[in-house]
Amino acid sequence: MSSILKIERLSHKYSSSWAIRDINIEISQTGVIGLLGSNGAGKSTTMNILCGVLNQTEGNVYINGSDTRQDPENAKANIGFLPQQPPVYTDLTVDEYLTYAAELRSVEKSKLRAAVNEAKERTGITHFSRRLIGNLSGGYKQRVGIAQAIVHRPKLVVMDEPTNGLDPNQLIEARKLIREIAVDHTVLLSSHILSEIQLLCREIIMIEAGRIIFSDSMDAFNNYAQPNTLLVRFENPPSVTDLQQVTGIPRVEYLSNGQARIYFDGDKTVTEKIVTASVQLGWKLQEIHLEKGLLDDIFKQLSNQSPN
């Protein structure tokens, strides 16, 4: 299968400092791919280059096989871009704006109406066709922004913080829409919000200090850090001091309803030791399981391993 996006040794320098260095990415399937990193990590620079907004200092970017520098017209024909602020014109109606966006993307005149109607239908804004964009809510303006990004049926849809600033109800709708689009498009979604990436993405690319420090499936990311905590629940909860008498438990914190988080030092037999102590001392253990590493903790671990 040919690559929808291929980035080779991509580097860019602002003045005397490198914003990104030796970025390599290859995506050949549909679905949502998360581009994760803290503010200033290099996400926006990477996206601006692959969307043709910025010329890179070094390296190559190919969209569906077309080089963005050598063949920019064909490369950009396969890209849809939703910046952090939707690029909508508030004094146009939804139909006027999407028709204009389709024309900019060189959609054939005979196919304009069908392309606009399909984009409206997919984003759930058909009933606002004649409404001025300036009179739409923030959530529906975001939908119009997504519609302009897919109106020409691109292979790759790039979204920069697409759920930023939405209220809880709008968030749910936006996530659903992004998943639907990803069925037959490749969506590269940038965010610095770990929970958003976890909810939407099947794969993750993490950039820190301008370099890729992780690139794998979301499951691999979630399982990256070895669990070092147990969640336990007792009918007759022991004291923290009593629990710390169990070998390999340096720290305990009680949560609620007899549940405690137990930190352990990597000893694989600690679970067996807790069960044994519970039986011997009458703690009446009701529940015990490993707690996966929190995304924030994994992010910090990976960031600390990034090269200087």
Residue ranges of domains in the chain, CATH in brackets = 5-222 (3.40.50.300), 229-292 (3.30.70)
Predicted TM-score (pTM) of this structure: 0.76
Mean pLDDT for the stretch of residues 54-59 = 94
Using one digit for the tens of pLDDT, what is the confidence trace for 196-243?
888 889 999 999 889 999 999 988 887 665 567 889 999 999 999 999
Residue 306 has pLDDT above 80, yes or no: no
Residue 297 has pLDDT above 80, yes or no: no
Structure tokens at 251: 């720290």
pLDDT at 228: 73
pLDDT at 308: 46
Tell which residue, 41, 148, 157, 47, has the closest CA to residue 98.
148
Residue 110 has pLDDT above 60, yes or no: yes
Residue 255 has pLDDT above 80, yes or no: yes
Pairwise CA distance, residues 246 & 236, whole Å: 17
pLDDT band with cut points at 50, 70 and 90 for residue 132: very high
pLDDT at 104: 93
Percent helix, percent strand, percent coil in the chain, to nearest 5: 35, 30, 35
For the chain, the distance separating the N- and C-terminal CA atoms, rounded to the nearest angstrom, is 35
Using one digit for the tens of pLDDT, what is the confidence trace for 152-192?
999 999 999 888 878 888 888 889 999 999 999 999 999 87
